[in-house]
Structures are given as C-alpha cells and as structure tokens.
Chains A and B, each alone.
Chain A
C-alpha cells in the first residue's frame, strides 16, 4: 500500500470528558483509502468526526486505536509532510503578516527555493494579486481561505487535504476554488476533500465516504452511490413523441413487454439516479447527537 496516498485503518479517537471520568468516541473504527489521482469526498453531518479524522491524518491528534498511513509511512514523517498541502477549516493565520510574508516564510520553512515571481504567480492564481502586501488582519474569511490555499499549493503537493475549503466563499470564489482543485487533480494530485456542500462534492469528486456519529456509513463511487438499484427510467416512442416512465425494478420486464405489445418503440432503459443529497440524507437519517 506504499503507493496509496492515504490509508485509514480501523481508526478510533476518543476524548476524555471533563474530570476524565468518561470518554466520548468521536471516531469509531473507520477504514477507507484514497487512491492515487482521485478526489475523495468526505461527508457527514456536524459532529460526525470529519475534522477529527483529518487531524489524525495530519498527526495533530493521536489516534486512540487504528492506523493512519500516508504512502505507507507515518503521518509525522518529514518526507511525507513535504508531499502534503493542507487547507484548514476556518484558517486564522497570524493577522500581523501579509500573504507575501507568509509565502516567503512558509517556503523557507519547507526548504523550497522559490522566487518572488513564483510566489506572485500562486497569489495571482488564488485571486490575491492585489492583496499580497496587505496585512491579513483586514481580510474576510474567504480571503483567509485563499491565503491558506496559496500556502497549500506552494510546495506543489501530491496530496491536498482540504477541510471545508469553500465554507466562507461566495459562489464566484467557490467556482474559482473548484477549478483550481480540478486543475490540481489533472496534474495528478490526489485530493481528500471534506465538505458540507454536497453539490460541490457531486460535481468534482470521484468517490465519497459518509460518516455519521463517528462511524462510516457509506463508501463508494459517486455513480454507484447515486444509482438506485430498484427504480428504472424507460424512454419510449409513442407516434412521433418521446415519453418516459419510471418504474420499480420488479415490474421492469413486464412493463417493457407491455410497451412492445402496444407497439411503442423502446429507446432506452436506465437506472434512476438520486441526488447526493438524497444519498446523504438516507445514510444519515435518524441521526442526531
């Protein structure tokens, strides 16, 4: 599994409650992996354990049990960390610095040999070209997200870990972020994306993992998750007009036979697709903390 950018195996994380008399299990034995070059959506309601999992992946939290490995190595290994870009949820960088100062310091801390021009290119790419010398103190949440994306892209990462990256962005900026994510993915970057925006995940992700109450409830390719097993759409021709019929799988063959008997031409028979929101709601239904 050395080629697998991220592998999570039987991960558990518990936190002690006040006084340490009892504990709360935030992540309960979850396993999944991110394959090279794919975009994996990481979904779940508030408190499902997404951010806790991401922090375990980044080595910010120590797992109570289970294992996290990045390219087969421990997340804290320096050679592994160099290959990662991280976009945190609600980034709140030291507000006394400017984006350019941050880029300079982070590139030095990462031992990158970057010219100012290269930094300008990245800042321009994330939409901060006019703000490079302005202190972050005056930035909106969305602009801080842009700083954090610029810092994540700086090292040309092979794995981007993004925790609600578009949370504070307006629709235009969200589209710009999405485009950058897709461009990076086309470059071969594997992306682990936690998001509440199901439409976003539906648009850009290859697979999804859905958590609920700390447990993994769904994992699979989006196409497979959204395809219903029990309902089909039949498209057929009546005279010169095209009509559609949605029916249960049990009645599929009988309906096709009936339509043929009536002389209607069958154009196509396709499984019905649900929206990701429907998949999400059915997977997490009845859940409440």
Chain B
C-alpha cells in the first residue's frame, strides 16, 4: 500500500501545482457568489432556493472537477512518456491507476468540502439555518464525483481527452434518466432499453437536493445504501479501467 499512497501524494502535489484545479475552484466560488445574490432579487423561500441552487452547483462542480482533474492525467503521462519509468520499475499498472485515482479523489474531496463550507456561509450570512442533511447530501455528491472520476479514468485509457469529456457528460445525463425516460430514447426495443438502464449507473440516487430543500427527512439507511451503491459501482468502473489499461501497449 505504501507505493500507492506515495504515488497518490505525488499525484496530489502535481494537481495542486498545475493551474487547472485553481481555475475550476474559482468557477465554483463565482457560482456560489452568484447564488449568494439570490436574496437581492426578492425571491420567496430564498433559503430553499439558495440550498437548491447551491447543491446543484456542487453537483455540476463535481462533474467538472472529475473531468478537469482526470481526463488529462493518463494522456499527458503517456504523451510525455512519464508513465514509462514509473510502470517499468517501481509500480504495477494497478498501483499506478490507484495512485492517480486516490490523488485526484483527495483533490475532489477538498474542493467539495470548500464548496460545502462556502454554501454554509452563504446560508448563514443570509440568516437561514443550515439543514443537518446538507452534509450527507454533499457527501453523496462527493461519492458521485469519485464515481465520475473512475468513469473519466476508464475513458482516458481508450479515448482522447476531447472525446473523454463529452462521453462522461453523456453518461452523466443518461444516468439521471428514469427507466421510462430511457425507453423513450428507443421505444422500438423496450426490453433492451430496460435492461440497459439497469446496467447503467443510477446517479439520480445521489441527488437529494429537492427533498432537503423542501425540508423532508431522508432516512439514514438511504444514505448508507446510496454510499454503498456509489462505492461499489466506482470499484467496478476502476476494475474495468484496469482491465483496459492492462491490455494496452505503452508504445
């Protein structure tokens, strides 16, 4: 485990020293600042709006972060040939993937924590209470972000970065659809579409901003199951990514 942790820390330092991550963080902060302006428009239920838009901003932020952080890591390593001496000697391909993933996951987590704190500050500054469920809701968005990271890594082993981003966004959108919505995409084969929908991830389970904004109680078991589902699917995606990576020649 020590080689993986060292490599993860190396990845973390690398990402922090590159400017991309800071650009994404600035976008998230600007978005939060924009949400903080909602009260000036005299919207009724402004607390609900701030929470709703804030969590939506974090959700989109998680997606952008995943793409921004991970889509270029492996292609850059491969293009600059930095992957060769690492994989040739100290690390196996599995350790390389895990190190890179954990490093990016730490950055994603840090950014989500900053975003959550920012949202909390905006709520408090506008005189609204912070609902306790906001923290588990952010945790679910973080799990979704990690899952998206795994997806981006998977795509990066067999596509180029310009293709990686639209494929990830497409999966993100498709995985929000309900079974009936999915069947509507191709109504001629409802059975096939239903089966496909079952296989594809259900990211809607991570989105609980509406019930929280409306003050509904989310059972603790739901959170646990959603976390388990997200982590299990993430592990599955990483395993598939590793299978693809292992089959690749490093020319």
Contact = CB atoms under 8 A, between A and B. Distances in A.
B3 A148 contact: no
B7 A78 contact: no
Interface string B1-28: 0110011011001100110000000000
B250 A81 contact: no
B92 A109 contact: no
A285 to B, nearest CB: 29
A96 interface: yes
Contacts, number: 78
Interface string A125-164: 0000000000000000000000010011001000000000
Given A61-B250, A62-B249, A96-B18, A86 B7 contact: no
Contact of A58 (B80, B88, B92, B251): B88
B168 to A, nearest CB: 24
Contact of A81 (B2, B9, B80, B90): B90
Most interface-central of B2, B3, B90, B250 (chain A CB within 10 A):
B90
Interface stretch (A87-95, A233-241, A258-266, A276-284): A87-95
B85 A94 contact: no
Interface residues of A, number: 32
B89 A94 contact: no
Contacts of A58: 84, 88-89
Nearest to A161: B88
Contacts of A81: 88-90
B90 A60 contact: no
B85 A86 contact: yes
A96 B85 contact: no
Given A88-B81, A90-B81, A110 B89 contact: yes
Interface in A104-129: 105-106, 108-111
A55 B87 CA distance: 11
A55 B6 CA distance: 25
A94 B7 contact: no
Interface of A: 15, 55, 58-62, 76, 78, 81, 84-86, 88, 90-94, 96-97, 101, 105-106, 108-111, 148, 151-152, 155
26 contacts: A15-B251, A55-B84, A55-B249, A55-B250, A58-B84, A58-B88, A61-B249, A88-B85, A90-B81, A91-B81, A91-B85, A93-B85, A94-B80, A94-B82, A96-B14, A96-B17, A97-B14, A105-B7, A109-B3, A109-B7, A109-B90, A109-B91, A110-B89, A111-B2, A151-B85, A152-B89
